A and B are shown apart, each in its own frame.
Chain A
């Protein structure tokens, strides 16, 4: 059922996409490893969707090249690239049944009917839509449509699956459920997933590696842990999770809210006054005004914090040297 394990490695070299004077993608060099789950994360306008469309072949590169397993495919038309794709809004064929939607890629490749039928059944099972064969897309729920879109894109065992904000149309509860399913699916099919989203939680929970994009460029690439614990720029630090920024010795450092400890007044490196606190289940979130670093956010494990401090209370603050990550200028 899985993809060819020897295929699916992508290399992007110096990719640029210009619309007149506007650079939507401004020079991207990136290796996407065979079989990995890679997420392009960024705010809207960061070029992540344009980059995905260039990989898919729907947008021509102004400069640069794309290699699949070492072979250039920059000039290969979209229909010859053999990449699966899940579109924003799914783009299912509204006039075809679930069966015909899923079997489409095989049918346009003139595969024998029994093979198509068997493969469609297999895919329906994979995405748990058995018995829905004859439904039209309009007769399915959003989550079901999303699964049909996945099955349709995976049916021909593509080496690479491109996903363009595939969970955007789902409600929050369903989204978390589908994230699990996607991760599970990725493990089982072994295909390279290139996933575009602006949702940091999705990026962190599913990806092997995350590419943070900003204004057409790569801001930072790394595993979710890397990016979270060692953000290299202020943008990366604030886009992925919350961060406090402090300046020392002419440099700027990022400290995650949970890395700051609250101590009795007088202890620790710094001091401050509680402005407010809010209760987030396992966490207590404090906003503390300090004389030398402005307002800092501090997260404390609720079960360990004992009695919560009231607004106006004076406290000492402390963090380890490793907790303060130096940022590039």
Chain B
């Protein structure tokens, strides 16, 4: 085979696009990596700060904790919703899907302020509870970590529901009948057959939620009342206000690296394309 034969001419057609992607996408990424090792001065000082500075460790721990709890709650609640959707009549399912999608389309800012209206010190719920005499002092639902979790879980649930629902709808009902027929109780059927068969959807949903949570900015900033500082907001402050671009770049590299690392680890256990496509393995 000659060289020209091996090179598919189609490559010439996509070459400009590839070049564009390289310049527009890879370029900035390389630039960030470069910054993380050169700003303010060349070296690994930005990365060393991860070990030396307790404030950065606290920041990362807060981020990790909030993201993990968000992921677990979103997946558990999302699973329940998806289960209900998978087991109702088609018309009800479509109505439920509409509700899911509507909440998808509401801007994050609007939701965040709605939560404050609803759950704030002077919000609907607290006022209602005080009115009923159930509490005497308002409960701090928002402007703290609980508020961040409520806001984030609410935002993330649709991302958990969709892949899980796809996995559930892919299950052959006869397999579940087979389990019952073989003497398994409904609980046994769920834990030993239904849940394992929906695992790809659960993993895809969890992955999606976790990765999106890592980049969350508006919700923690507002519902956290300033006290729940997560990486995305911190990066933005370092870029825009304190001009510590090296620190910001280092954290961005760290985030990107974590996400890629997570995907790599998962790819060793399962077919990632199946998980991200929400299909069955």
Contacts and interface: CB of A to CB of B under 8 A. Distances in A.
A/B contact in complex, CB under 8 angstroms: yes
Interface string B181-192: 111111010001
B181 A56 contact: yes
Interface in B181-218: 181-186, 188, 192-193, 196-197, 199
Interface in A82-126: 82-85, 87-89, 91-95, 104-105, 108-109
A12 to B, nearest CB: 18
Given A91-B172, A95-B197, A108-B192, A156 B182 contact: yes
Contacts of A56: 177, 181
Nearest to B178: A91
A17 interface: no
A106 to B, nearest CB: 9
Given A91-B172, A94-B197, A95-B197, A109 B183 contact: yes
Chain A contact-residue range equals: 20 to 34
A79 B185 contact: yes
Contacts of A89: 172, 174
A268 to B, nearest CB: 55
Contacts of A105: 182-183
B169 interface: no
Contact of A78 (B180, B193, B197, B199): B180
Contact of B188 (A82, A84, A108, A153): A108
A230 interface: no
B179 interface: yes
A58 interface: yes
B180 A91 contact: no
Nearest to A58: B177
Nearest to A162: B181
B175 interface: yes
Interface residues of B, number: 19
B181 A104 contact: no
Contact of B183 (A58, A79, A87, A88): A79
Given A95-B197, A108-B188, A82 B178 contact: no
A79 B185 CA distance: 7
Contacts of B175: 91-94
B184 A93 contact: no
Contacts of A78: 177, 180-181
Given A94-B175, A95-B197, A108 B184 contact: yes
A153 B178 CA distance: 9
A104 B196 contact: no
Contacts of B185: 79, 108
Nearest to A105: B182
A156 B178 contact: no
A313 B245 CA distance: 103
A79 B193 CA distance: 14
Contacts of A92: 175, 178
A277 B108 CA distance: 80
B174 A104 contact: no
Contacts of A108: 179, 182-185, 188, 192
A152 interface: yes
Nearest to A138: B281
A105 B189 CA distance: 11
B174 A88 contact: yes
Contacts of B177: 56, 58, 78, 85, 87, 91
Interface string B25-69: 000000000000000000000000000000000000000000000
Contacts of A152: 178, 182
Contacts of A94: 175, 197
A235 B265 CA distance: 63
Interface of B: 172, 174-175, 177-186, 188, 192-193, 196-197, 199
Given A79-B185, A92-B175, A156-B183, 19 more contacts: A56-B177, A56-B181, A57-B181, A58-B177, A79-B180, A79-B186, A80-B183, A81-B181, A91-B175, A91-B177, A93-B175, A93-B179, A93-B193, A95-B196, A95-B197, A108-B184, A108-B185, A108-B188, A109-B183
Interface of A: 56-58, 77-85, 87-89, 91-95, 104-105, 108-109, 152-153, 156
The 6 closest A-B pairs by CB, nearest first: A91-B174, A105-B182, A108-B184, A91-B178, A79-B180, A85-B181
